[in-house]
């Protein structure tokens, strides 16, 4: 039987050594009240300690004072298993300093392990991750030396062969405590999420905790005397142990009705609703026109009837150009967090969908992706090498994590990487269809060998995928011989502006085009 208690009362039930499952997608659907109460308890009592955090997506808010980062910084967490890390600044700092263990799994695989845990299964089998950095034959899902020394990576991911077929085994987590954010709690403890942008994997998370004999703690905006329509219930009351009410929550409306489904947005109005979110974007790292040039060229790969996924960062510009040229009404956008239709929200709202037709559980969205449901995807890249391999999760300066990248790119027929040719100091301008490199970046992004493999050219060639790498000055494509120059923009000299900055010789099958 569920109880309505203060957040602190609920948090006091968490023992040291527990695994907390966080049902969030970065800052979205993240139960801040529960995180804050846990931080307060750790500050006041020094416990609980040695916690493990499990989150299929990510749980940070791009701010060290929000969500789990404060109690991570206080030393309460021993280990993190997650798909994405960049939004958790304290966590990534402590990972770099080798103070906590961290393991990185593909978001879709991690999401599906929750369902396995709910069913009492030991884990799942998936082709996603083969020949990538986390494949034990190539590398490890352990992020730092402390993690590698712990040996836990060998349990999390194993390479196996079944009936002559190679695949990866992902271990299901044991969830001792589930942290879930909902909107309303009805008299039977049923949880609905009418004002949330996402459900993430709330039901599977709660079921996994119940299967393990753990606790389910739900933060809601309100309790209501009215019973919820059955199809609106996301987590039934039979799975809920504690409900904590956020007294500061707005009980009249969601933050943005265009993203929780209360307001449907037609394609003709998308530019307006996108502009409303501009204040929530992260500061742009680019001060030139590179991202816009890339987005405009990449958007030409869209065709009517396409089902599309667009990644965070430079790929977000593809959505804006799709809206500008009028093709948005003829394609279907999706987001790995569960949105189908509409347009992915940018910046700090990434994961939400403006004007979605449907918002499903994240695990169901990855069923669709893994099954080849997408027509084309647009992804970012930190670097690409001579073979066409892509590193999208790790640089010398930072570790972002793989997120949904591996699942999305694994079976999609057309994969378009959106990236600058160089970075740190790059400035490009476009005028009358010509591109000028005003100043070159000091860091090369097209390299001889990538530091880690997030996308395998070997896999792509075997799957027969069409792979493009769109930059602000040219377009590369994947061939049997590796990376090849396919297009050079008008105003760009192939030798001076491209080949001169490479440590290997490019093969060329190129045309000159307007940017």
Neighbouring-strand partners of residue 223 = 185
pLDDT, residue 515, reads 65
Q: Which has the closest alpha carbon to 269: 355, 352, 211?
A: 355
Q: Which of these is catalytic: 336, 383, 472, 487?
A: 336
Is 336 an active-site residue?
yes
Give yes or no for a contact between 72 and 100, defined as CB atoms under 8 angstroms apart.
yes
How far apart are the C-alpha atoms of 297 and 420, rounded to whole Å?
13
Which range (106-110, 213-217, 306-310, 322-326) has the least confidence? Answer: 322-326
Give yes or no for a contact between 173 and 182, defined as CB atoms under 8 angstroms apart.
no
Topology (CATH) of 267-513: Glutaconate Coenzyme A-transferase (3.40.1080)
Q: Which has the closest alpha carbon to 247: 33, 41, 30?
A: 33
Neighbouring-strand partners of residue 377 = 309, 415
Superfamily assignment of 3-180+204-221+238-245 in CATH? Answer: Glutaconate Coenzyme A-transferase (3.40.1080.10)
Query: Could you tell me where in the chain the CATH 3.40.1080.10 domains are found?
Result: 3-180+204-221+238-245, 267-513
Give yes or no for a contact between 446 and 383, defined as CB atoms under 8 angstroms apart.
yes
- Given a cut of 50, whether residue 282 has pLDDT beyond it is no
From the centroid of its chain, how far is CA 133? 17
Q: What angle do CA 64, 69, 74 make, to 5 degrees?
A: 110
pLDDT, residue 320, reads 85
Give yes or no for a contact between 181 and 24, defined as CB atoms under 8 angstroms apart.
yes
Query: pLDDT tier at 347 (50, 70, 90 boundaries)?
Result: confident
Rounded average pLDDT over 503-509? 87
Give the residue ranges of DSSP H helices in 212-315: 257-260, 270-276, 290-298
Beta strands in 284-391 (DSSP E): 307-310, 332-334, 339-340, 343-344, 353-354, 358-359, 376-380, 383-385, 390-391
Q: pTM of the full predicted structure?
A: 0.93
How far apart are the C-alpha atoms of 392 and 454, rounded to whole Å?
6
C-alpha torsion sign, points 117, 118, 124, 127: negative
Instruction: Kindly report, residue by residue over 110-160, the tens digit of the pLDDT.
Output: 999 999 999 999 999 999 999 999 999 999 999 999 999 999 999 999 999
Rounded average pLDDT over 311-332? 90
User: How buried is 97 (Cβ within 10 angstroms: 0-12 exposed, 13-18 middle, 19+ buried)?
Assistant: exposed
pLDDT, residue 50, reads 98
Neighbouring-strand partners of residue 427 = 439
Q: How many CB atoms are closer than 10 A to CB 122?
A: 11
- Given a cut of 60, whether residue 251 has pLDDT beyond it is no
pLDDT, residue 464, reads 98
pLDDT, residue 495, reads 95
Instruction: Kindly report, residue by residue over 351-376, the tens digit of the pLDDT.
Output: 999 889 999 999 999 999 999 999 99
Count CA atoms closer than 13 A to 381's CA, side-chain side.
36
DSSP secondary structure code for residue 282 in this structure: P
């Amino acid at each position: 039987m569920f109880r309505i208690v203060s957040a602190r009362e609920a948090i006091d039930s968490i023992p040291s050594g527990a695994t907390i499952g966080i049902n969030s997608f970065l800052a979205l659907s993240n139960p801040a009240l529960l995180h804050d109460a846990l931080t307060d308890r750790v500050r006041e009592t020094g416990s609980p300690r040695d916690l493990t955090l499990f989150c299929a997506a990510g749980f940070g808010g791009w701010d060290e004072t929000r969500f789990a980062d404060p109690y991570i910084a206080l030393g309460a967490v021993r280990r993190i298993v997650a798909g994405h890390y960049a939004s958790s600044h304290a966590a990534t700092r402590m990972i770099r300093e080798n103070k906590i263990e961290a393991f990185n799994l593909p978001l879709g695989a991690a999401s599906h392990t929750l369902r396995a845990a709910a069913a009492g299964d030991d884990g799942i089998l998936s082709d996603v991750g083969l020949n990538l950095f986390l494949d034990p034959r190539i590398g490890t899902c352990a992020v730092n030396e402390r993690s590698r020394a712990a040996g836990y990576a060998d349990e999390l991911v194993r390479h196996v062969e079944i009936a002559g077929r190679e695949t990866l085994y992902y271990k299901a987590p044991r969830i001792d405590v589930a942290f879930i954010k909902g909107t309303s709690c009805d008299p039977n403890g049923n949880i609905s999420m009418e004002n949330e942008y996402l459900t993430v994997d709330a039901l599977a998370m709660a079921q996994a905790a119940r299967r393990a004999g753990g606790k389910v703690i739900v933060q809601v905006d309100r309790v209501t005397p009215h019973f919820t329509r059955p199809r609106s219930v996301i987590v039934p009351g039979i799975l809920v142990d504690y409900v904590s009410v956020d007294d500061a929550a707005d009980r009249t409306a969601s933050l943005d009705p265009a993203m929780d489904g209360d307001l449907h947005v037609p394609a003709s109005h998308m530019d307006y609703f996108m502009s409303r979110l501009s204040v929530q974007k992260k500061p742009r790292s680019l001060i030139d026109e590179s991202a816009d040039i890339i987005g405009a060229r990449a958007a030409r790969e869209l065709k009517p009837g396409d089902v599309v996924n667009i990644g965070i960062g430079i790929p977000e510009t593809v959505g804006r150009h799709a809206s500008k040229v009028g093709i948005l009404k003829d394609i279907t956008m999706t987001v790995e967090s569960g949105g189908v239709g509409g347009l992915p929200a940018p910046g700090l709202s990434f994961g939400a969908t403006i004007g979605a037709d449907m918002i499903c559980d994240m695990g169901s969205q990855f069923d669709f992706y893994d099954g080849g449901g997408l027509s084309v995807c647009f992804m970012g890249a930190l670097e690409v090498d001579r073979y066409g391999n892509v590193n999208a999760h790790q640089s010398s300066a930072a570790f972002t994590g793989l997120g949904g990248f591996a699942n999305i790119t694994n079976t999609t027929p057309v994969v378009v990487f959106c990236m600058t040719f160089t970075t740190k100091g790059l400035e490009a301008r476009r005028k009358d269809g010509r591109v000028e490199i005003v100043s070159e970046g000091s860091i090369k992004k097209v390299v001889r060998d990538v530091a880690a493999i997030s996308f395998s050219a070997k896999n792509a060639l075997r799957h027969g995928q069409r792979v493009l790498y769109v930059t602000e000055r040219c377009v590369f494509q994947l061939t049997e011989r590796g990376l090849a120059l396919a297009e050079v923009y008008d105003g760009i000299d192939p030798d001076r502006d491209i080949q001169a900055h490479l440590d290997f010789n490019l093969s060329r099958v190129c045309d000159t085009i307007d940017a």
